């Protein structure tokens, strides 16, 4: 799950190796190892890939030495993300020497960006497969097994993998991600996603609601609806011509059960509607938390970034959120040192952070990506040390804002979904409130289990965690 607590970037899940849920009695002739990098969408795609491979009789392993196939599901969003993958590839050289039949595949955004060039640059790689080509993995594996390097980086206007039931991997059994759309039609000047993930397309609402219902029946208590720009979700039933927008989809998922929490990510400030906000308010189980990336607080930079809103529009949306749901938490993505950024632009970013009072932020130094609008039109002219200094100031301010926000919650009681033992002690639970804040508290009753809702009063806090105690025992809500 995303851990938003004031990190420049959440590195905790980067390169996470997956072990899929398997049927214990099944015998597999071959084993695959898959590691994921980048955004949550990639982690969710790895579950689709695992499902396709298991359907073909491949078992999953977390032991790279045991694998017949190694897959890296990659990210291209910043240069560093690609460097990490290249470094990881070199580590497989030794294993390939001892196991010459081993196949190595690069999947996802880096595969899409570099295409067959990747095969020339990384001799170790046998397969290059883009995000819309995972259904062809079995035939590509066959091709690679016969000694031919296999590439499929075709992007699709239709593929949503709607009919593939993802195999949940590395799951806590409580929270799951459900992909509701793919691709992106926004052309933010800095961003490589429209080139690596193709045109935006929405998945049909029926299969989404069915997936959420099965998750609930399996014991999951939280779903996060995923897309690059969820507010532009739009599905028209070809049979009835009935259209479903994001607010309607949210409502349908919320109605699966009042005990199923619903989250979503990411909202684009230009698209989030009052209808969505009113739907959130109407349903207790739609979490009061919106990830609303601002990127910059300067109108001049926002225009260069092609974000299509101004700081005034953004603050207007924030005010509307707070008016409709005063308890709603807001988080952001912020880029320091975009092309031509001056000190005043940076101060405008700090100012919009203070005015919004973000609970959390993902914060990045601008990294030029080949082929993007910015790379073609503008000079990456902010010196690295200036980018770093501005990023540090942004991180410092966010730390302060998060602590202030947590302090304001002391004494309040929250409904918390228990996710598991706290990291520090088996005598304590860790869970989150609706606002996505981590809460840690003593276990008090054997009836409490992961997946149970309890009421917790916040007593103390750090900038990343609220420490509390369970109150109102009789109101314990059974999972
Ligand atoms: N679609 C989402 C949105 O619009 O907010 C998220 C897209 S991207 C996977 C996540 C974040 O990475 C962006 O919001 C942006 O802050 C950051 N990002 C994208 N391209 C970047 C670049 N070239 N340099 C630094 N940060 C970048
Ligand atoms: Fe990238 Fe902008 Fe699309 Fe987000 S909305 S994926 S930042 S182009």
pLDDT of 304-350, one tens digit each?
999 999 999 999 999 999 999 999 999 999 999 999 999 999 999 99
Q: 359, 333 in Cβ contact below 8 A?
A: no
pLDDT for res 203: 97
Return all residues near 321 (Cβ < 8 A) that are at least 6 apart. Answer: 277, 290, 292, 328, 330
Question: DSSP per residue over 211-270, as a string?
Answer: HHHHHHHTT--EEEEE-TTGGG-EEE-TTT--EEEHHHHHHHHHTT-TTSEEEEE---TT
Q: Dmax of the chain from CA atoms?
A: 65
- Give the global pTM: 0.93
Using omega within 30 degrees of 0 as the cis cutoff, is the peptide bond preceding 10 cis? no
Ligand 2 nearest-atom number relative to CA 268: 5
Ligand 1 nearest-atom number relative to CA 188: 4
How far, in Å, CA of 251 to CA of 177, rounded?
17
Question: What stretches of 337-396 adopt beta strand conformation (E)?
Answer: 360-365
| Structure tokens that stand for 347 in this block | 């101060």
Q: Which of 344, 327, 340, 336 is nearest to 397 (CA)?
A: 336
What is the best residue among 191, 269, 301, 307 to mutate for testing ligand 2's pocket, by most ligand atoms within 8 Å of CB? 191
- Asked which of 22-31, 279-288, 347-356 is least confident by mean pLDDT, the reply is 22-31
Ligand 1: residues with CB < 6 A are: 39, 77-78, 190-191, 193, 228-229, 266, 268, 293, 295, 333, 335, 364, 366-367, 369
Ligand 1 nearest-atom number relative to CA 228: 1
Q: Is the CB of 183 under 6 A from ligand 2?
A: no
- pLDDT surpasses 80 at 18: no
Task: Give the tens place of pLDDT for each residue, 407-441.
Answer: 999 999 999 999 999 999 999 999 999 999 999 99
Q: Is the CB of 194 under 6 A from ligand 2?
A: yes
Return all residues near 191 (Cβ < 8 A) that are at least 6 apart. Answer: 77, 184, 369, 372
Q: Is the CB of 193 under 6 A from ligand 2?
A: yes
Ligand 1 nearest-atom number relative to CA 333: 16
Q: Which residue has the tokens 């770093």?
A: 388
- Report the mean per-residue pLDDT for the chain: 93
pLDDT for res 461: 98
């Amino acid at each position: 799950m995303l851990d938003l607590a004031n990190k420049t970037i959440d590195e905790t899940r980067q390169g996470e190796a997956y072990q899929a849920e398997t049927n214990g009695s099944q015998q597999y002739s071959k084993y695959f190892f898959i590691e994921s990098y980048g955004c949550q969408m990639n982690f969710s795609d790895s579950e689709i890939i695992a499902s396709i491979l298991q359907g073909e009789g491949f078992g999953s392993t977390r032991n790279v030495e045991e694998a017949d196939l190694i897959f890296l599901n990659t990210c291209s969003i910043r240069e560093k993300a690609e460097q990490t993958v290249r470094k990881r590839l070199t580590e497989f050289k030794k294993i390939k020497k001892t196991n010459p039949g081993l196949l190595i595949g690069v999947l996802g955004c880096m595969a899409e960006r570099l295409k067959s060039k990747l095969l020339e640059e990384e001799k170790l790689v046998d397969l290059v497969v883009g995000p819309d080509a995972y259904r062809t993995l079995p035939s590509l594996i066959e091709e690679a097994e016969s000694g031919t390097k296999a590439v499929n980086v075709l992007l699709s206007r239709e593929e949503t993998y709607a009919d593939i039931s993802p195999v949940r991997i590395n799951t806590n059994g409580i929270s799951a991600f459900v992909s509701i759309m793919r691709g992106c039609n926004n052309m933010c000047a800095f961003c490589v996603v429209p080139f690596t993930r193709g045109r935006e397309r929405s998945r049909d609402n029926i299969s989404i609601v069915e997936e959420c219902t099965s998750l609930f029946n399996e014991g999951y208590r939280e779903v996060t609806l995923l897309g690059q720009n969820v507010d532009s979700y739009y599905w028209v039933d070809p049979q009835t011509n009935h259209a479903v927008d994001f607010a309607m989809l949210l409502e349908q998922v919320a109605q699966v059960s009042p005990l199923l929490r619903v989250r979503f990510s990411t909202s684009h400030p230009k698209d989030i509607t009052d209808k969505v906000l009113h739907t959130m308010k109407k349903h207790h189980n739609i979490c009061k938390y919106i990830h609303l990336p601002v990127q910059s607080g300067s109108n001049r930079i926002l225009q260069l970034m092609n974000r299509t809103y101004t700081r005034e529009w953004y603050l207007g949306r924030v005010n509307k959120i707070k008016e409709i749901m005063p308890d709603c938490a807001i988080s952001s993505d912020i880029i320091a040192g975009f092309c031509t950024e001056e000190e005043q632009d940076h101060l405008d970013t700090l100012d919009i952070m203070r005015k919004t009072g973000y609970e959390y932020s993902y914060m990045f130094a601008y990294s030029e990506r080949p082929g993007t609008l910015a790379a073609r039109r503008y000079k990456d002219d902010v010196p690295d040390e200036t980018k770093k200094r501005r990023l540090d100031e942004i991180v410092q301010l966010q730390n302060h804002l998060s602590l202030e926000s947590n302090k304001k919650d002391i004494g309040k009681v929250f409904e918390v979904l228990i996710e598991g033992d706290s990291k520090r002690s088996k005598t304590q639970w860790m869970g989150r409130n609706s606002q996505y804040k981590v809460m840690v508290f003593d276990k008090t009753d054997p009836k409490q289990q992961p997946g149970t809702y309890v009421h917790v009063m916040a007593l103390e806090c750090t900038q990343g965690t609220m420490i509390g105690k369970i109150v109102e025992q009789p109101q314990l809500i059974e999972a």
